[in-house]
Structure 1
């Protein structure tokens, strides 16, 4: 996959582009009394067996925050089942979970069945259901009935959406949390045992006393910061809501979908405190630590003025593969960050679905004048070379296989390659003699891509 220039030795008139997904519209609306202010902004979506599952926040007209549950058989039409687990205004006919809000769910492949589902949350304090503070892990056998871990994970109050997952690349759990340094940014911590206290570096000027969790600080320097604004960002932009995905369909690929927050001036220059607009960006990584923001083009843009996602958008954690498509979900609102009004705003926000091409987040693009790429030496196994490529109608791509020194290999030179005119995720490359590349397997080779009006997303030997 082309998520950076790691494999590229030479390029001419091509550029690495971010490809926004297709917006398909809202799939879940605020329509219950406990959602009477809004749904979202934080949550998780996954396909668990044949069932699509969503865990999401909701806020009622008093500002109370809950974590709720929805299910679907197709990922498009969602049902809010009556779980009977939590009393709301004298009734248990609701989809509220016995959990504090502002967290994310993951399936723990290392856990016993009784602890299959894990939930990492900050709790959101007095307005959050159960009034929890601090980072805590909860666990469940079915994703509905939850038990809190006896120990806090961290004596820190990391606001909004935090997450964790098992990273099979390093054989540890990894968590990403909101931090401040000094503006919003994202911290990371590696964990051997997710149910034991997580490592952190206390500050001398802060208190982490277990007697008073509400006074625990927000993370600043206690944890390593791995993603933040820099000199290329406007001075009034920072980032949070990390939404990190270890990509399951390629080796050592991580994606982050943070919300970028453009702050409006504070009063008296601005109208409101802590106000501004948010959209979703994209960052890539090979290890989950060093992140590349590429061109910094917006990944999911705000909707047009007046549309339901025209003010703020936040990606939910989770990525679902459907054939050669990838589905993700985000929460959207038609008002800016500081413009909410609990007394007047009712049933705001929605959860939206977006669709991305498999491996399609980024691509090397060549215009109509043409361009080319040459890789560094690589060694492969397999018998065929497949491409994830889109030439549309007037584009074209050819592939040449070179030896380690950059000399074309007989029968695999550019003139012998049959021109590719296709929009496919697994297009097999053919030369005049056929498509079998197995004689070159295990040997260092280079690939030369010559293309016109083409998007090249990935290559793979199979």
Structure 2
């Protein structure tokens, strides 16, 4: 009940407590963050009001596993790329482009691009289904679903014009030449989605346009319309889309070039080196009619060019999104053994290095971008090349490598085998759930206090890790910062160990239902510890 609209009477530890709901000066009621019972990973400082001591946000690197996918069939090869992992019902799909290069003083394609799919029951062990869509000598028992070849399922051979699209550099009309260069599918979670369009995709090959595709099963695809749906980018990249259940629209992220002034194509042909690889975002309510793309707003400003973003909804927290961009770094010199070989055919390709970054967003338009790499090339020269670190789109759940361990997150990363190998190898990397970023403190200690927030639920769950000496304590406060009796730091039962879902307890109780729905603050004290996520939840 309210008393003069300033206090709640709550029962804590069997006693009546007057809980002030007065907000600090300058904080308005609409400024209170309503987190409800949703998962809140600590991937940014959205919830944080104050930090003390050694407290900082820390980026964690995934662990390279032994499992791998090597794309070495005759219809695949050493230039295969742009993979996507989807899970539909109880089956995983691994889509990818199959291409192979010959470097013999110049760069040539051994065969035209294919779009292929592998399947798996666990996301770790994969097989190529014999689909029989494409018939070609030497390509028996293949898993191709689309190809540029005229004999392929969709006849999209070079020169066949399906659209009046334009090359945005020259202004000339360009033909539709298929989608296998960068075909990127998704499973449509829009409640209004038609069953025959449950799978959708964006793809193209003329580098200037994207076409929309649909499929009932992820194998049999058709164009949604003959004209392209997005035409304001430089599309020789992995361009992607998904349904946002919070904003109730489709979002597309695609590559484009900027010049030094920020516009796209206002430079002469001889100034092409001024191009700066960046990302546009567009939205749609039907996957066919898209808004004009806006530049993604990077915070802080990005310091590298970005070839892809691999943006996706955060698993279990769909009000957020994360991504693993391929960071493009030209002009570092040809010091790796592999790049020395590439230079004999292309000094351009030999002068570029890539790695994997990490980005996050709350609105889909403004992204926090970490200046440090999430994944670095390894100690062998086989990993220092143009293409290392390209991640397959989408995280998946995978079993722990430890007996009795918690389910982990995995993703596949272009690791080695490019340019001169028989085929590109995608290595599996894994990380704990919510494990990419944490609020972290040294043994000397650090703390953070949240902004005023409102929750629903009766207990607080944490995903955390400490050393044997480390610890975490939690305090619930009134919005003014005054500890709530029964929930102070001194009354909190110290947490130490390693858990992805552990309930916080205080000396007298763990139940926080009496405070549910009221504005409060949280204060966390950490010593040699990492806090990955928090969530208020109801007991089942």
Q: Would you say 1:461 and 2:536 are equivalent positions?
A: yes
Alpha-carbon distance, 1:390 to partner: 0.4
CA distance in 2, matches of 1:179, 1:119: 19
What is the CA deviation profile of residues 300-357 of structure 1, one whole-angstrom value per residue up to 9, with x for unaligned ones?
Answer: 221221455766220111121346421212222356xxxx4xxxx2413211211121
Q: Would you say 1:58 and 2:98 are equivalent positions?
A: yes
Unpaired segments of 5 or more residues in structure 2? 1-40, 102-109, 148-178, 260-275, 335-339, 399-405
Q: Would you say 1:108 and 2:184 are equivalent positions?
A: no
The answer to whether the Cα contact below 8 Å between 2:86 and 2:187 also exists between their aligned partners in 1 is no
- 1:82 is matched with 130
- 1:373 is matched with 448
Change (3 A) 1:404 1:121: same
1:13-92 alignment, distance < 5 Å: 13-39=54-80, 41-60=81-100, 62-89=110-137, 92=140
CA distance in 2, matches of 1:435, 1:266: 58
Instruction: Return the index of the structure with the highest Cα Rg.
Output: 2
The answer to whether the Cα contact below 8 Å between 1:37 and 1:63 also exists between their aligned partners in 2 is no
1:206-221 alignment, distance < 5 Å: none
Alpha-carbon distance, 1:265 to partner: 5.9
- 1:321 is matched with 397
Provide TM-score, normalisation by structure 1.
Answer: 0.85
What is the CA deviation profile of residues 415-446 of structure 1, one whole-angstrom value per residue up to 9, with x for unaligned ones?
Answer: 11111112101111111112111111111111
Q: Would you say 1:170 and 2:211 are equivalent positions?
A: no
Change (3 A) 1:231 1:428: closer
CA distance in 1, matches of 2:299, 2:500: 34
Alpha-carbon distance, 1:248 to partner: 3.3
The answer to whether the Cα contact below 8 Å between 1:107 and 1:118 also exists between their aligned partners in 2 is yes
The answer to whether the Cα contact below 8 Å between 1:185 and 1:228 also exists between their aligned partners in 2 is no
1:3-22 alignment, distance < 5 Å: 3-12=43-52, 13-22=54-63
The answer to whether the Cα contact below 8 Å between 1:324 and 1:425 also exists between their aligned partners in 2 is no
Determine which of 295, 313, 333 is the counterpart of 1:246.
313
The answer to whether the Cα contact below 8 Å between 1:38 and 1:349 also exists between their aligned partners in 2 is yes
Alignment length (residue pairs): 417
Unpaired segments of 5 or more residues in structure 1? 126-132, 201-222
Change (3 A) 1:367 1:176: same
Provide TM-score, normalisation by structure 2.
Answer: 0.73
Alpha-carbon distance, 1:139 to partner: 0.9
- The alignment partner of 2:282 has SS state of strand
Deviates more, 1:247-256 or 1:149-158: 149-158
- 1:128 is matched with none
- The alignment partner of 2:461 has SS state of strand
The answer to whether the Cα contact below 8 Å between 1:85 and 1:92 also exists between their aligned partners in 2 is no
Deviates more, 1:42-51 or 1:28-37: 28-37
CA distance in 2, matches of 1:324, 1:90: 40
